Amino acid sequence: MDERLHKLLARHGIGSLRQVEGWIRAGRVTVNGRPAELGQRVGPRDRVEVDGRDVSKRLAAQSSLRVILCHKPGGEMTRGREGDDRSTVETRLPSLRGGRWLPVNALGFGEEGLLVLSNDGSLAGAIARRAG
């Protein structure tokens, strides 16, 4: 089954939708040796490279759905930013091989509470839209 390239790359944790779209525009993504185009559909037999690195096997692997709940203290950030040395929830989470944790609900720097994270961007987005 064919899927749009940028959604496939984002779903497998290679980058966010916006990042991947930027990479495609910049010519950093190729499909079967040719520069990728925005909105391009790819299938299981296509060879996809990002910055010259073949990611086809990673895209073919089925990732299992994971959801995690954790307590976020008020003085902790959800995600770290380069150059920012504040502590983050991200450092306490179990590592995901071939993916990343995506927050379902948003808690700001000063907010404390239950943080829900998933490795499935579609699920996280659907829940966030439902709650909002």
Encode pLDDT of 77-91 as tens digits.
777 666 677 778 888
Statement: the pTM of the whole predicted model exceeds 0.75: no
pLDDT at 108: 78
| Rounded Cα gap, residues 118 and 132, in angstroms | 17
Contact by Cβ (8 Å): 107, 119: no
Mean predicted confidence (pLDDT) in 20-41: 95
